[in-house]
Structure 1
């Protein structure tokens, strides 16, 4: 349910997938290995990571490393899947208490009516119910003024106040593709050849300190948003990420056909993720 809505609202998903099928890189969307999906949340009572993670922990995900993004005022964790059939989860949360009084006031106007954790009311064994929850409006639609006021201080806050738990991005595992497309530099050229713009914050390819995790992403596509009071404005939606995970040094001797997920660099990198966040920021969408 998440992916269907996401690909309908992010045209780059179908454009990239169709081009990959046309080139014989994959035969269908299902053949693409999804490295991870990402969600954004607000750190307010009864919401945020402590609430949202319950869904994934219930289904066998394991909470892993913690990350802090000082400039963006964000906490984040990643979650390892129960089996390789599922993507990793990257979950971030705005530290609302670190914002200005004005920004905190705006956010609490929308969330103060929530007096119990909404996830606790779900049947976590009911996939349909969980899917509907991801698309549920936990607070009322913001006004255009509240959105733009938040945008001035925290573009992350503005994105979440409008989009809520909408899927922020999914990630193509480039290293899992066929020869000729399994390196990020080459895959980026392929994507740009489709007329799709890439996030240039920190360079088109963001590389971890150990050199084993390379990430790129498209720039979020602008969508016509309707706010409370029927005002409209074009705002950033979601985007697509691409990741190349290098082989760990101790497994460098293995033939390519023997390489499995556990032989490659796992987890995430703060500096990389910090720049990937900016795929929805005006510095990228307006450049």
Structure 2
């Protein structure tokens, strides 16, 4: 697969940081408004963790067709200081993923709010439409008109589609080959999931095993794809847990009503790298911790929106 020609961006200038944070805050608010379960989880963490909520990453889904792919979102973030962190490929899903590192900024005080705390990584996936069957390609291209991807950020902040709502027949036909594609066709650029940074949280949620136990006790359905709730990277330094997506009853363009998956919540704990094991705990920064994503774990985490998972 050819590399993406994305320019590296410079750091913040002038009021850019404030604008970027406002955009991210709008995306977050839209996500919480549209997903009651996610909002409940967010409020639980905020209440238990003394309002010090911090995010590891925001994840978006796109289509690689007619300017709607990764670059339709990444170009905005890179204009405001984000840089390419790495890429992952998932051939079985026909999906390519790019993750972006946030710019280096001064963080005043001990703030953990999106307003003044560390900025989240941005993770953007794209469905490689050209690799799908002619039938699936036709469905997707019918909705995604040329040049529409330029409105990706606006769509994310508002939670609105920039193409026509699909019919139930198109949605279900596409879902037979790609549930990722069907999800993205209905939900568009809305936030697919947010991941809390467990290593930045305090009290009860400061360890991911405690997070797992807490939400099991509360009756939430956790992602067990791959055989385990806790996804551990090969080096043992990246730990991930996700809740299964909530389901919403929606109406399609043809008036048919069905229940489909919405967005979900993930928790990420990044352990300190071996070379920094002697750094005092109160001096640990993000660069001291395990960076990036893990191929196998990410594959299973994406199953959190599987329509037929663990019913």
Q: Please say whether Structure 1 and Structure 2 have the same fold, judged by a TM-score greater than 0.5.
A: yes
Relative to structure 2, which stretch is displaced further, 49-58 or 9-18?
Answer: 9-18
Shift, 1:176, TM fit: 1.6
| Secondary structure of the structure 1 residue equivalent to 2:205 | coil
Q: Match for 1:237 among 255, 258, 262?
A: 262
Aligned partner (choices 91, 96, 108) of residue 124 of structure 2:
91
Candidates 50, 61, 75, aligned match of 1:27? 50
Render the CA deviation track for 1:80-111: whole Å, top value 9, x for unaligned. 01136210001000001111111111111111
Alignment of 1:32-43 (within 5 A): 32-43=53-64
Root-mean-square deviation (CA), in Å? 1.9
> Which of these residues, 81, 98, 102, is aligned with residue 77 of structure 1?
98
Is the Cα contact below 8 Å between 1:16 and 1:191 reproduced in 2?
no
Shift of 1:179: 4.7
Aligned length: 273
Does structure 2 retain, via aligned residues, the 8 Å contact 1:12–1:196? no
Alignment match, 2:34: 9
Distance 1:55 1:13 in 2: 25
Of 249, 273, 279, 1:254 maps to 279
Can you list the C-alpha shifts for 1:66-91, whole angstroms capped at 9, x where unaligned?
11001111011100011362100010
1:102 aligns with 2:142: no
CA contact (8 A) 1:213 1:244 kept: yes
Q: Which runs of 4+ in 1 moved over 6 A?
A: none
Aligned residue for 1:282, secondary structure, equals coil
d(CA) in 2 for partners of 1:234, 1:180: 34
Output the CA distance in 1 between the equivalents of 2:289 and 2:283. Answer: 12
**C-alpha displacement of 1:10:** 1.9
CA distance in structure 1 between the aligned counterparts of 2:149 and 2:305, rounded to whole angstroms = 27
- Residues 113-192 of structure 1: pairs in structure 2 closer than 5 A: 113-114=145-146, 116=147, 118-119=149-150, 130=154, 135-192=159-216
TM-score of the superposed pair, with normalisation by structure 1: 0.89
Gaps of at least 5 residues in structure 2 are 1-25, 106-117
Are the equivalent residues in 2 in contact too, given 1:134–1:165 (CA < 8 A)? no
Taking structure 2 as the reference length, the TM-score comes to 0.83
The Cα shift of 1:199 comes to 0.6
Report if aligned partners of 2:161, 2:187 keep a CA contact under 8 Å in 1: no
2:155/2:190 contact within 8 Å kept = no
Change (3 A) 1:90 1:110: same
- Give the direction of change, closer, same or farther, for the CA distance of 1:68–1:37 in structure 2 (3 Å limit): same
Q: Quick check: 1:281 aligned with 2:306?
A: yes
Unaligned runs of 5+ in 1: 123-128
Q: 1: distance between equivalents of 2:156 and 2:93?
A: 29
Deviation at 1:133, TM superposition (A): 6.0
| Alignment-derived partner of residue 222 in structure 1 | 247
Asked if the contact 1:6–1:167 (Cα under 8 Å) also holds between the matched residues in 2, the reply is yes
Cα distance, 1:136–1:12 mapped onto 2, change above 3 Å: closer
